Amino acid sequence: MPLSQAQTKVRKISGVINMSSRLKEVKASIVEKQARRDEVEYFIEDLKKQDLLTAFDENVWLSMVDYLCVHKDGKVEFTFLDGNVMKIDG
């Protein structure tokens, strides 16, 4: 087999291996997102079953908020367990 044909085969095999690796990454990402979606749906259904909050509930706070930061200028940043950040001007 000429060298150029061998090189072409090696490139094709390398491409297939790369695609296979990428496919595994994408499948893992899909599984993670489906699991997260299921968690969120369960959380929403659980919230729908609860009465409207009329007072501070420590359990709700602890289940949602990771930490908050109060800045010198009065601005407050809430960092939630999912990584989202909400900023409030003071």
Q: What is the pLDDT of residues 42-62, one digit of tens each?
A: 888 888 888 888 899 898 889
Please state, rounded to an integer, the average pLDDT across all residues of the chain: 87
d(CA 27, CA 80): 27
14: phi then psi, degrees, rounded to nearest 5: -60, -40
Please indicate, yes or no, whether the overall pTM of this predicted structure exceeds 0.75. Answer: no
Q: Which residue has the higher pLDDT, 53 or 41?
A: 41
d(CA 28, CA 1): 39
SS3 82: coil
Token output for 66: 């990771």
pLDDT at 3: 63
